Amino acid sequence: MTIIAVFNQKGGVGKTTTTANLAAAMARNGLTPLAIDLDPQAHLTAMSGLKPKVERTVYSFFQQHTPLSELVTQLPNQVNLIPSHMELAKVDMLLSQNRRDLRRLKKAMQLEMLSAAGTPVLIDCCPMLGVLSLSALIAADVVLVPVTAEYLAMNGALQLDQTLNGLTSKGLHRPRKVFINRYQRGQITSEHVATELTRRYGRDFCRTRVFESQSVMEGSGKNLDVFSYAPDSESAEDFSYLLDELVENRFIRTAC
């Protein structure tokens, strides 16, 4: 059972891109991943080419207690998706940050056995730390943190460290794995950020670097993951390596 929350409190660092492409990498390796779009911006949903009615989205789980399993849509690339809707923003305002509300997602996933053997779950978080993101962090077995090769994205990762330390003090330790996204070899900022992340995170920093890539951008514009859009691209290789590294680290406990 592996639930991965993809999170960084900094916006635009590649959380959605990572969720989409890592899930696609899993599907190509014979896993049947479930991706949950837990962001009211609903970018993962849009990137998947879906425009669901609000009652068919994760909003309905939080507001109407609809079972998560009833909200799953299978995408052409064999990734299962629970989509989002902009109405989800209300959940962050309406639900409190009490223990019961924050554990609802985790509990439902356990009860519905959504992450039973062979089904890794990826949760695409929004960049704010509210009920939604905290619910994802509590539900997660591991937190995957994309950091773009720029200084402000490192600050977002630092803020996340504080959040995770807070959870640890409540007996909710969540291991994290940080990786660099939009890396450009030889570019001074990219090299500085990579050096700093290595120093700061040591073994929690992935050796895999996801490079800045035209294929990633173009593919998302056509509602395609990089394996479907450019299967021979370096980006497809990057996301395959990222998956391999997570498997190697036993964050994904299914052989592939």
Ligand X SMILES: Nc1ncnc2c1ncn2[C@@H]1O[C@H](COP(=O)(O)OP(=O)(O)OP(=O)(O)O)[C@@H](O)[C@H]1O
Residue 10 is a binding residue for Mg ion (CB under 5 A): no
**37 or 238: CB nearest Mg ion:** 37
The reply on whether position 13 binds ligand X by CB under 6 A is: yes
Stretch that binds ligand X, among 37-45, 101-109, 155-163, 241-249 (CB under 6 A): 37-45
Least CB distance to ligand X at residue 123 (A) = 12
CB of 16 to Mg ion, least distance (A): 3
**Does residue 216 interact with ligand X by CB under 6 A?**
yes
CB of 11 to ligand X, least distance (A): 3
Question: Cβ of residue 39: shortest distance to Mg ion, in angstroms?
Answer: 5
- Pick the binder of ligand X from 81, 105, 122, 210 (CB under 6 A): 210
- What does 130 interact with, of ligand X, Mg ion, none (CB < 5 to 8 A by kind)? none
Judged by CB under 6 A, does residue 115 bind ligand X?
Answer: no
233 lies in the site for ligand X, by CB under 6 A: no
Three-state secondary structure of the chain: CCEEEECCCCCCCCHHHHHHHHHHHHHHCCCCCEEEEECCCCHHHHHCCCCCCHHHCHHHHHHHCCCHHHHCEECCCCCEEECCCHHHHHHHHHCCCCHHHHCHHHHHHHHCCCCCCCCCEEEEECCCCCHHHHHHHHHCCEEEEEEECCHHHHHHHHHHHHHHHHHHHCCCCCCEEEEEEEECCCCHHHHHHHHHHHHHHHHHEEEEEEECCHHHHHHHHCCCCHHHHCCCCHHHHHHHHHHHHHHHCCCCCCCC
Q: Which residues bind ligand X (CB under 6 A)?
A: 11-17, 39, 41, 43, 126-127, 181-182, 210, 212-213, 216-217, 220
